[in-house]
């Protein structure tokens, strides 16, 4: 049996979601790093990644794109430890959180990333994005708490007493927010949840090094120059 390969970039949040799940499930895999400096347009990579994105998971000659599809594949093929709840309602919660993270939170965060690391952005638009992020955080805070049913109060993860794919997908974005100047102080449950996630080995092993983050800042500043001028 061939070893799984994860084509990734160490600063890509989508890649990190898959990387964390591979580690949590203790699956054997190899990392294939891409710089995303144009190498994603090379014919060899385009042959496995139609839209030139990372992550791509290669299982022998089967290539999977789209983070959520990759996570579903891993969950189905390597069911232990289970990273999705079985109960219908809890599964819906996990899916909601995944979809809200990808469809609402990530697009709102992108301009904040560009502003933090590239130093540019229209203040009015950025404020709108901050409000969108705050709305997601309020929604997540409610789901982690006891607002839908009493038994939620004691559950440390979304729809579960153990970490799920929803926590990974949302957590990789939410734990970045303080770096972007968005404090979690007003969301005590999310704050505690975020500390729980950050303390896991899989999160620490996949954390981008300060050197990489510095290099990213330089790259962003270069990219933003024409827009600022
Ligand atoms: N919908 C895709 C999005 C993947 C994506 O946007 N990847 C970014 C890095 S996080 C990328 O590869 N950017 C380089 C490019 O698109 O050329 C997924 O969920 O996997």
- Say which residues have a Cβ less than 8 Å from residue 180's Cβ, sequence separation at least 6: 109, 112, 113, 115, 116
Pocket test for ligand 1, best of 7, 17, 53, 208 (most atoms within 8 A of CB): 53
- Tokens found for residue 181: 């100047």
Percent of the chain with pLDDT over 90: 80
Q: Residue 72 pLDDT more than 50?
A: yes
Domains of the chain: 4-77 (3.40.30.10), 88-205 (1.20.1050.10)
Q: How far apart are the CA of 103 and the centre of ligand 1, in A?
A: 13
What would the pLDDT profile of 131-143 be if each residue is shown by its tens digit?
A: 999 999 999 999 9
Strand order through the sheet with 56-59: 29-33, 4-8, 56-59, 62-65
Confidence grade of residue 154 (pLDDT, cut at 50, 70, 90)? low
Q: Which residue has the tokens 């997908």?
A: 169
Q: Which atom of ligand 1 sits closest to the CA of residue 49?
A: 12
Residues 30-54 pLDDT 10s: 999 999 999 999 999 999 999 999 9
Residue 16: count of CB within 10 angstroms of its CB: 25
The structure's pTM equals: 0.94
Ligand 1 neighbours, Cβ below 6 Å, are 12-14, 36, 40, 52-55, 66-67
Q: What is the spatial distance between Cα 188 and Cα 152, in angstroms, rounded to a whole number? A: 15
Q: Residue 225 above 90 pLDDT?
A: no
Residues 163-206: tens digit of each pLDDT? 999 999 999 999 999 999 999 999 999 999 999 999 999 999 99
Instruction: Note the pLDDT of residue 178.
Output: 94
Q: Which residues contact 212 (CB under 8 A, 6 or more apart)?
A: 10, 11
Q: How confident is the model at residue 215 (pLDDT cuts 50, 70, 90)?
A: confident
pLDDT digits (tens, 9 = 90+) for 87-129: 999 999 999 999 999 999 999 999 999 888 888 788 899 999 9
The pLDDT score that the predictor gives to residue 229 is 39
Assign 221 a pLDDT band (cuts: 50, 70, 90). Answer: confident
Mean pLDDT over each residue of the chain, to the nearest integer: 92
Give me the residue label for tokens 């500043």: 221
Percent of the chain with pLDDT over 70: 93
Q: Within 13 Å, how many C-alpha atoms sit on residue 4's CB side?
A: 22
- Tell me how far apart the alpha carbons of residues 154 and 145 are, in angstroms, rounded to a whole number: 8
CA of 34, closest atom in ligand 1:
12
Q: Could you tell me which residues come within 8 angstroms of residue 6 by beta carbon, excluding any fewer than 6 positions away?
A: 15, 18, 19, 22, 29, 30, 31, 32, 55, 56, 57, 58
Please name the residue whose Cα sits nearest to atom 14 of ligand 1: 53
**Position 15 pLDDT exceeds 60:** yes
Distance of CA 3 from the midpoint of ligand 1 (Å): 23
Q: How far is CA 134 from the centre of its chain?
A: 17
């Amino acid at each position: 049996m061939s070893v799984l390969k994860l084509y990734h970039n160490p600063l890509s949040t989508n890649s990190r979601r898959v990387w964390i799940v591979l580690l949590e499930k203790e699956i054997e895999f190899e990392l294939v790093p891409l710089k995303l400096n144009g190498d994603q347009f090379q014919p060899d990579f385009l042959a496995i990644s139609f839209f030139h994105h990372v992550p791509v998971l290669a299982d022998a000659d089967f290539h999977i794109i789209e983070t959520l599809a990759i996570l579903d594949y891993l969950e189905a093929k390597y069911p232990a430890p289970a990273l999705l709840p079985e109960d219908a309602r809890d599964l819906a919660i996990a899916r909601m959180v995944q979809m809200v993270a990808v469809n609402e939170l990530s697009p709102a965060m992108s301009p904040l990333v560009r502003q933090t690391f590239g130093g540019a952005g229209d203040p009015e638009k950025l404020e709108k994005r901050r409000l969108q992020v705050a709305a997601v955080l309020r929604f997540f805070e409610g789901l982690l708490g006891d607002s839908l049913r009493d038994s939620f109060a004691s559950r440390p993860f979304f729809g579960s007493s153990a970490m799920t794919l929803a926590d990974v997908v949302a957590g990789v974005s939410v734990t970045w927010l303080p770096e972007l100047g968005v404090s979690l102080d007003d969301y005590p449950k999310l704050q505690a949840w975020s500390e729980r996630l950050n303390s896991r080995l899989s999160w620490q092993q996949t954390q981008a090094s300060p050197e990489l983050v510095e290099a990213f800042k330089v790259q962003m500043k270069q990219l933003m120059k024409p827009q600022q001028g």
